[in-house]
Amino acid sequence: MHPTREQVLAAIADGPVGGPAIASDLDISRAAVWNHVEALREDGFSIESAADGYTLAGIPNYGGPALEYGLDAPFDVEYHEKIASTNERARELAAEGHADTVVVADRQTGGRGRLDREWTSPSGGVWLSVLVRPTIPPAQAPVYTLIAAVATARAVRECGVEATIKWPNDIRVDGEKLAGILTEMEGEADRVSWLVVGIGLNANVDADQLPDDQPATTLRAETGDIDRRTVVQRLLTEFWTLAQSSPETTLDAWRELTDTIGQRVRVDTPTGEIVGEAVDITPPGALVVETDDGTREITAGDCEHLRPA
Amino acid sequence: MHPTREQVLAAIADGPVGGPAIASDLDISRAAVWNHVEALREDGFSIESAADGYTLAGIPNYGGPALEYGLDAPFDVEYHEKIASTNERARELAAEGHADTVVVADRQTGGRGRLDREWTSPSGGVWLSVLVRPTIPPAQAPVYTLIAAVATARAVRECGVEATIKWPNDIRVDGEKLAGILTEMEGEADRVSWLVVGIGLNANVDADQLPDDQPATTLRAETGDIDRRTVVQRLLTEFWTLAQSSPETTLDAWRELTDTIGQRVRVDTPTGEIVGEAVDITPPGALVVETDDGTREITAGDCEHLRPA
């Protein structure tokens, strides 16, 4: 959001405040104040004007300005009612040189998950992609998948839904998939140029709108419709905070939220299937599995939780 | 090159062979044989036709068909007399879904090295980018920088020039830079989608055409002009062979060719300067440096060889 527009909003949040006072405080003209107020109304903010000044009476439910307003993280938000893929759009923004930008859509028509799998994204879900440019080597990129998983699980738990993380990138409730994460990147061999972390959260959608190839659930089914603005802002704030902290902070938070560790698992890796007990996660995000042949660290693969042997 | 065209070339390599015999051997029409011969002539191949048939009498010096002909690696070659950047073009080809393709240019107008540094690329040099899609996690990408360094150093040594490798990506002769490498990638957090390995080799160019910000040399200065086709084909064959082998094979080859190991070095890393003796390289390409404070493994940075303390 335009920085001055943000200041106007802040000024009238506990209104009423007169236009001349705002103009004087922000060192802009009265006409500029009026223009910002009109622009904010067009963005969906409800602003009462009375003799004693302007008062912010309501904010839009969702969308770019609503998500930026009150967001405790320095992300720009680009909102789309409908888009092919928020990750694809974030990659375009990356190519144009943008940073610290979040693309959010009400629905995606061509959403994708890991390994180019289709990701169904009906209206009412939370479909977003975070574009960041951290100073890390590509080897550290999986940390951002963990950051996204922790941020999503925490935001969901604030809704009263006991989500857990299944390694590497699923958020589940009682074994049913609630959200998934797709981290993409570009860079040189020893430094990332950009990372795009896509998060798909089945929020205010009917479970029967989702494909039945795996057990899936939605926030609507678990707890009823939630306020997506609150959930997205919590998620982005957690994401930002973890991204500024050490990888170990993220790993510790992840360990608290996962149900993979302690499980017997089967992991399909590019080099074969590994079966054993998941005992830990190590930087930047490898799963440690005790097998009959010794301890293995797995950096990539599809993980299935098995019943105890 | 068109596979049938390649077969026609192979058929007449030790000519003369009659058009009807070629048509019959390759199960194509005589008109098709004639068309392929004409197309090959347009590509610069010299083909004699006499009463007893066609004979390949000469191949073009350089360019796409010349580089593909006789190349012992399954790369397609796209050649440009002039292009902004072969890496940029290879990235475009990657986005279009291509694989195992090499972009070669006689000169680049906007060549780049690591960290977006300018890379001067006058006519006569070897400026190329290899596009591959290996099944590896991004953490393994630095191996491809080592592969390119070994392939380049070996191809240069075949010209009688004693090139050495300075970690991580410079090919030098007596401390003067002869070639550089820039490895770029895109992918998910746990698997590479594509790698583009750019190699810039100061071949048949005057040293005074190069910028004087660091000591640089050229093959022209070291040994006189070389046959670029031979050098590129050797380089690509070595590259392909190493890419099919284990990372340890590449590391062993790299150790043989480097002059960094055993040197006292100063490395500028994203997290600070490290000074000590370079003692080894470890997968996927980290330099091991013994410092006064212990052993450090450095994954990224600019390395300077110091005189003995």
Interface test with B, best of A129, A135, A167, A188 (most B CBs within 10 A): A188
pLDDT by 10-residue block (mean), chain B, 309 residues? 89 91 94 94 94 93 93 96 96 96 96 82 96 93 95 97 94 95 92 96 93 90 96 98 95 96 92 93 92 91 81
Residues in A closer than 8 angstroms to B285, CB to CB, are 189
Tokens of A51: 């003799």
Q: Which DSSP category does B188 fall into? A: E
Residues A198, A112 within the same domain: yes
Interface test with A, best of B87, B147, B188 (most A CBs within 10 A): B188
**Residue A261: predicted pLDDT:** 95
Residues A198, A88 within the same domain: yes
Phi, psi dihedral angles at A6 (to 5 degrees): -60, -40
Report the SS3 class of residue B256: helix
Residues A117, A193 within the same domain: yes
Q: What type of residue sits at position A6?
A: E
Instruction: Check B189 against A144: CB less than 8 A apart.
Output: yes
Residues B26, B136 within the same domain: no
Q: In this structure, what CATH number is given to the domain that contains residue B50?
A: 1.10.10.10
Instruction: Check A188 against B184: CB less than 8 A apart.
Output: yes
Residues B118, B18 within the same domain: no
Residues B91, B175 within the same domain: yes
Residues B48, B143 within the same domain: no
CA distance A259 to A287: 12
Whether the CA torsion A200, A129, B183, B101 is positive or negative: it is positive
**Residue A239: predicted pLDDT:** 98
**Residue A8: predicted pLDDT:** 94
Q: How far A256 CA lies from chain B's nearest CA (Å)? A: 22
Instruction: Check A142 against B189: CB less than 8 A apart.
Output: yes
CA distance B59 to B168: 36
Report the SS3 class of residue A216: strand
Residues A203, A300 within the same domain: no
Nearest to B188 among A182, A189, A190 (CB): A182
Nearest-Cα residue of chain B relative to residue A87: B188
Interface test with B, best of A136, A146, A190, A194 (most B CBs within 10 A): A190
> Domain containing A295: what range?
264-305
Q: In this structure, what CATH number is given to the domain that contains residue B69?
A: 3.30.930.10
Residues B54, B68 within the same domain: no
Instruction: Check A185 against B184: CB less than 8 A apart.
Output: no
Tokens of B222: 């070291």
Q: What type of residue sits at position B101?
A: T
Query: Residues of B near A (CB-CB distance < 8 A)?
Result: 114-115, 135, 137-139, 141-142, 144-145, 168, 182-191, 270, 284-285, 299-300
Instruction: Check A185 against B183: CB less than 8 A apart.
Output: no
Instruction: Check A137 against B187: CB less than 8 A apart.
Output: no
Tokens of B188: 């998910």
**Residue B249: predicted pLDDT:** 96
Residues in A closer than 8 angstroms to B115, CB to CB, are 188, 191
Q: How many domains does chain A have?
A: 3
Domain boundary among A30, A58, A86: A58
Q: Which helix (H) or strand (E) holds B6?
A: helix B3-12
**Residue B308: predicted pLDDT:** 63
Instruction: Check B188 against A187: CB less than 8 A apart.
Output: no
Q: Which DSSP category does A282 fall into? A: E
**Residue B103: predicted pLDDT:** 98
Domain boundary among A40, A58, A76: A58
Residues A41, A8 within the same domain: yes
**Residue B284: predicted pLDDT:** 86
**Residue A309: predicted pLDDT:** 52
Q: How far B171 CA lies from chain A's nearest CA (Å)? A: 17
Residues A101, A223 within the same domain: yes
Q: How far B187 CA lies from chain A's nearest CA (Å)? A: 5
**Looking only at Cα atoms, what is the longest distance across chain A?**
79
Interface test with A, best of B117, B133, B190 (most A CBs within 10 A): B190
Low-confidence ranges of chain A (pLDDT < 70): 308-309
Helix axes A30-42, A3-12, angle to 10 degrees: 90
Q: What type of residue sits at position A251?
A: L
**Residue A226: predicted pLDDT:** 96
CA distance A148 to A183: 9
Q: How many CB pairs under 8 A join A and B?
A: 77
Residues A46, A72 within the same domain: no
**Other residues' Cβ atoms within 10 Å of the Cβ of residue A194:** 21
CA distance B115 to B117: 5
